[in-house]
Amino acid sequence: MESIAVIILTKNNFEVIKKCLDSFKENNTYTNIKFYIGDTGSDKNCLSDLENYLNSLDYKKELLKFNHYNFAKNHNWIIKNRVKERFILFCNDDIELIDDVLSIFIKNWEPDLGTIGCKLLFSNNTIQHAGQIHLIDKKNYIWRVSHKLYKQPDKKLGIEYNVGNTFALCMTERDTYNKIGGLNEEYIQCFEDVDYNINCSLNKKKHKFIGHVSCYHHESLTRKKTFNNEQEVEDWFRLKIKLQELYN
């Protein structure tokens, strides 16, 4: 049974991450996993609740404490300094498993994959994510990235290859992660996962989407409180250059 590192960042979101971790107990049969929980500055009471809850889990786990949230830097540090498992599962703290995702990901893994992902649903059962799509029109200088079937009613989907999967819930191989240099720490607010997917593609890796597997994604409950539009513009400019590298 292959080993999987499940990495979850969180801050002052105890009830949310508890729901996430409870869903692993209820809807996951895969046992060779270790949780790496990166707390990015929770207050004392929340951190105490999280520590007590983690101590009650039968899974292997490690709580790591950071002074601030930076998706790329936090993950790169954890993977470089702690993770020994073969696979890495990126998981937001507001994910809630519905299906036995890890078992299905492992069953459907292929040696030439960069990432594997599944369908994510909003709480109202509309689709939040069914794989990334690139909307490219070089003649009219259009370079966009979007989510397939965004906000459409839930429906049964199959297995397909796409241009990438969201790191809200996504699995990759640690050797691939290290080969392409991990996540680009120049991104501050968003698009780190899109950049990673593109780097996988540039290294001849494919991306696989498992459409009959679903999870709830209660949509970035923490990030919305600190979202900065100016930073998003800077991150988007950086990503546009990466898209041009892929398609030119």
pLDDT (tens digit per residue) in 31-76: 999 999 999 999 999 999 999 999 999 999 999 999 999 999 999 9
SS3 166: coil
What is the sign of the dihedral through the CA atoms of 147, 148, 152 and 154?
A: negative
CATH number at residue 85: 3.90.550.10
What per-residue confidence (pLDDT) applies to 106?
A: 98
Residue-number span of the structural domain to which 61 is assigned: 4-247
Number of domains in the chain: 1
Which one, of 72, 98, 86, lies nearest residue 20 by Cα? Answer: 98
What per-residue confidence (pLDDT) applies to 222?
A: 47
Mean pLDDT of 226-231: 61
Mean pLDDT of 169-184: 97
- For residue 154, what is the DSSP state? P
Mean pLDDT of 172-199: 94
Residue 142 has pLDDT above 60, yes or no: yes
The overall average pLDDT reported for the chain is 92
What per-residue confidence (pLDDT) applies to 136?
A: 81
C-alpha 159/C-alpha 157 separation (Å) is: 7
Contacts 24+ apart (CB under 8 A), 67-72: 67/40, 67/41, 68/40, 68/41, 69/9, 69/11, 69/40, 69/41, 69/222, 70/185, 70/188, 71/9, 71/167, 71/183, 71/187, 71/192, 72/182, 72/183, 72/184, 72/185, 72/186, 72/187, 72/192
What per-residue confidence (pLDDT) applies to 226?
A: 52
C-alpha 89/C-alpha 174 separation (Å) is: 10
Which one, of 67, 51, 4, 23, lies nearest residue 216 by Cα? Answer: 23
Determine if the pTM surpasses 0.85: yes
What per-residue confidence (pLDDT) applies to 220?
A: 58
**Cα–Cα distances in Å, from 21 out to 56, 187, 196?**
11, 27, 26
What per-residue confidence (pLDDT) applies to 242?
A: 87
